[in-house]
Amino acid sequence: MTTLNLNASVAIAADNTDQAKTSLFYQEQDNEVALFEYAYNQQLPVLIKGPTGCGKTRFVAHMAEKLNKPLYTVACHDDLTAADLVGRHLVGPQGTYWQDGPLTRAVREGGICYLDEVVEARKDTTVVLHPLADDRRILPLERTGELIEAAPGFMLVVSYNPGYQNLFKGMKPSTRQRFIGLRFGYPESEIEQDIIIKETGVEPNLAFKLVELAQALRRLEDNDLEEVASTRLLIYAAKMMTSGMNPLDVCRCCLAEPLSDDIQTVNSIMEVVKIYF
Ligand code: ADP
């Protein structure tokens, strides 16, 4: 993976381009691989909704690898503007020159552009996303006067976490209705155990206990916790345990503390942890 820092406010990971490829493990949860492939074949954009750490980014990276496409990943944030996506004029020793942003590169190369947490981005980004996400498949570059037709393999993929949304940060229906929607959740117990084992090499018994614990914590969600234990956190915990750390300490720093700032809640999580470790 190459990280290109084209400017201070956007970090872009251009994967699968010129670097040696390593096969990324992805455990399918339902029929999302086939759905994504159909959407790709039909040149349709895809929207993935799901909680943090449930495998959205891994899935997109896996699909880019499977389809042999360059992948441009952009982690959206509230200062991200359309210019961060399409590009901007820069000043160099030879004077001013234009530098394509990640979206423009993907459009020209026929790659996949993945906008993670797209609802965080500034609203002006919809101006460039709409004509790309419908049957026009064009990208107007206002600053250069260019109108780029997306290369045949270009695919726009966006994701967001519906749980984070508030009144001001929802995705507009006119944007949402341009995408094929996939809903992700945390994997079923056996699949999640499998993921933990494959990602960390832990014994099945430990993976089983971590998933049981996560499920107990997930049942607390509506009452006590804003967020529940993600697959990502379970993987962190499994990795720390294999390095020899005490399981209770691991669960405190990998699960309880990342899930809550409230000391009472952290203590309650630890009470649940003690049932399993
Ligand atoms: P998200 O983008 O939804 O926040 P990620 O894709 O970054 O989450 O997933 C977090 C981690 O969980 C990944 O790095 C990977 O180790 C693991 N993971 C989650 N789901 C899967 C899956 N289905 N197959 C393989 N690994 C997964």
| Stretch among 89-93, 115-119, 168-172, 211-215 having the lowest mean pLDDT | 168-172
Which has the closest alpha carbon to 225: 187, 251, 253, 259?
259
Question: By alpha-carbon position, which residue is closest to atom 26 of ligand 1?
Answer: 26
Q: What is the pLDDT of residue 170?
A: 72
Instruction: Compute, in angstroms, the gap from residue 230 CA to the centroid of ligand 1.
Output: 9
pLDDT(151) > 50: yes
| Residue 168 pLDDT > 80 | no
Which residue of 195, 197, 228, 234 sits with most ligand 1 atoms within 8 Å of its CB, as the best mutation to test the pocket?
A: 195
Nearest CA-CA partner of 81 in 46, 131, 115: 115
Of 210, 232, 233, the residue with max ligand 1 atoms within 8 A of its CB, to mutate for a pocket test, comes to 232
Q: What is the DSSP string of 35-97?
A: HHHHHHHTT--EEEE--TTSSHHHHHHHHHHHTT--EEEEE--TT--HHHHHEEEEEETTEEE
Distance 51 CA to ligand 1 centre (A): 11
Q: Which residues contact residue 153 at a Cβ distance below 8 angstroms, ignoring those fewer than 6 apart?
A: 40, 67, 69, 109, 110, 111
pLDDT at 11: 41
pLDDT for res 224 = 65
pLDDT mean over 48-64:
96
pLDDT bucket at 7, cuts 50 / 70 / 90:
very low
Q: Are 126 and 172 in contact (CB under 8 A)?
A: yes
pLDDT of 73 > 90? The answer is yes
pLDDT tens sequence across 82-128: 999 999 999 999 999 999 999 999 999 999 999 999 988 888 888 89
pLDDT above 70 for 206: yes
Which has the closest alpha carbon to 233: 198, 257, 266, 263? Answer: 257
Ligand 1 atom nearest the C-alpha of 60 is: 6
221 pLDDT band (50/70/90 cuts)? Answer: low
- Cα(274) to centroid(ligand 1), Å: 26
Percent of the chain with pLDDT over 70: 88
Residues with CB under 6 A from ligand 1: 25-27, 29, 50, 52-58, 187, 195, 199, 231-232, 235
249-269: per-residue pLDDT in tens?
999 999 999 999 999 999 999
Residue 231 Cα to ligand 1 middle (Å) = 7
pLDDT score recorded for residue 216: 93
* pLDDT at 10 > cutoff 50: no
Mean pLDDT (the chain) is 89
Task: Please report the DSSP string for the chain in residue order.
Answer: -EEEEEETTEEEEEESSSSPP-PPP----SSHHHHHHHHHHTT--EEEE--TTSSHHHHHHHHHHHTT--EEEEE--TT--HHHHHEEEEEETTEEEEEE-HHHHHHHHT-EEEEETGGGS-TTHHHHHHHHHSTT-EEEETTTTEEEEPPTT-EEEEEE-GGG--TTTPPPHHHHTTSEEEE--PPPHHHHHHHHHHHH---HHHHHHHHHHHHHHHTTHHHH-SS---HHHHHHHHHHHHTT--HHHHHIIIIIHHH-S-HHHHHHHHHHHHHH-
Complex-level ipTM: 0.99
Using alpha carbons, list the distances in angstroms from residue 201 to 206, 215, 239, 250.
10, 21, 8, 17
Does pLDDT of 19 surpass 60?
no
Output the CA angle 225-228-234, nearest 5 degrees.
Answer: 140
Tell me which residue has its CA closest to atom 23 in ligand 1: 27
User: Mean pLDDT, to the nearest integer, of 170-184?
Assistant: 90
- Residue 79 pLDDT: 92
pLDDT for the residue 9: 36
pLDDT confidence bin for 22, thresholds 50/70/90: low
Q: How far is the CA of 116 from the centre of ligand 1 (A)?
A: 13
Q: Are 74 and 12 in contact (CB under 8 A)?
A: yes
Q: For residue 16, is pLDDT > 60? A: no
